[in-house]
Amino acid sequence: MRAKWLCLVALTAAAVGCGEGRAIFDIDVFSFLSGAKADTLPYVGPLPPGVPDTIPVQTVRSLGLGSSSVVDTVRFIGSVDFVNASGTGSVTFAVYFDSLKNTVYTGTPWFSVSAAVTPGATTTSPFDVDIIDPAMRKLFLASTVYVGIRVSATGAISGTAKLSALRARVVIQDKIF
């Protein structure tokens, strides 16, 4: 986490000098998940009692900017592979973000990806999602964002959802703080 200091120095240089330009942040959310081995999640349908359908909430280091900053764009780009072991049905991969760790899964997902799966096949589902809600966009101004993933299955299926990429592109207008 010590590299945060470098972020701050760079942010300052940008704040002092970038005039009317934008600050574009490319956050590799996947790296934070894979670092904690939380990029893979088994799914089973119907879900037996006691089997988790979520990953433990993970921490993503974000921007740490003042709330007066104007967030122009928050966009998620990535891909998830559904490695289906058995059965035919559909799988939904939902991604949650929150500013509080214990409420990550209490709200609605920020976005979700669904795919139809067949026995023994791997289905790749790329996604490219713009976040429209201004309040949700503001969340990424915080220095820490918590992320969670839930996978739900429809039909008698089992397999593994493997996230292969998840990047957040956050564009801040010229007023950084």
Partner 1 sequence: MGSIVRTFVLGFGLAVLLGGAPAPAAAQWLVTDARRIGMGGLSLGRSGSVARYNPAYRAVQAEAARHGQPKLTIPIPLGIIQFLHDHPHLSSDPAFDYKSRGFNPILVANTILNLPLYLEVKQAPTPTNDVAFTIGQDSLRVNLGATSQLVPEDQFGISGSSRPIDPGFGYKGFRVGVMGWLHDDAQLQLGDKLLAFLRDSVPARHNTLYSADVHALVASGFAPTVGYAGRITGDSARGFYVGGALHYYVGVGYGRTDGLVGDSTSDTLFAGSNPVNPIGRTLTQYSKPGNTLGHGIGADIGVAWVSGPIEIGFGVNDIGATITWPDTRLDSAFYNDSGYSKPVANHVETKTKLPVSYIANLAYSVGNTTLGADVLNTGRGSVVHVGGEQRLGLFAVRGGVARDQRKRIEFGFGGGVRFGGLGLDVGFWTHTNSLSNERGITMATSLSIY
Site for partner 1, rule CB under 8 A:
1-28, 31-32, 34-35, 61, 64-68, 141-144, 176-177
8/121 with CB nearer partner 1: 8
Least Å distance between CB 35 and partner 1? 4
Least Å distance between CB 166 and partner 1? 11
Do 168 and 110 touch, CB atoms closer than 8 A? no
32/97 with CB nearer partner 1: 32
Of the CA atoms within 13 Å of residue 141, those in its CB half-sphere come to: 19
Least Å distance between CB 130 and partner 1? 19
83/165 with CB nearer partner 1: 165
What is the C-alpha to C-alpha distance for residues 94 and 103, in angstroms, rounded to an integer? 15
Least Å distance between CB 14 and partner 1? 4
84/98 with CB nearer partner 1: 98
Least Å distance between CB 89 and partner 1? 33
Q: What angle do CA 165, 7, 39 make, to 5 degrees?
A: 20
Residue-level length of the chain: 177
Sign of CA dihedral 7, 13, 18, 19: positive
92/99 with CB nearer partner 1: 99
In angstroms, what is the C-alpha Rg of the chain? 18
Q: How many CB atoms lie within 10 A of CB 104?
A: 23
Instruction: Give me the phi and psi of 170, to 5 degrees please.
Output: -115, 125
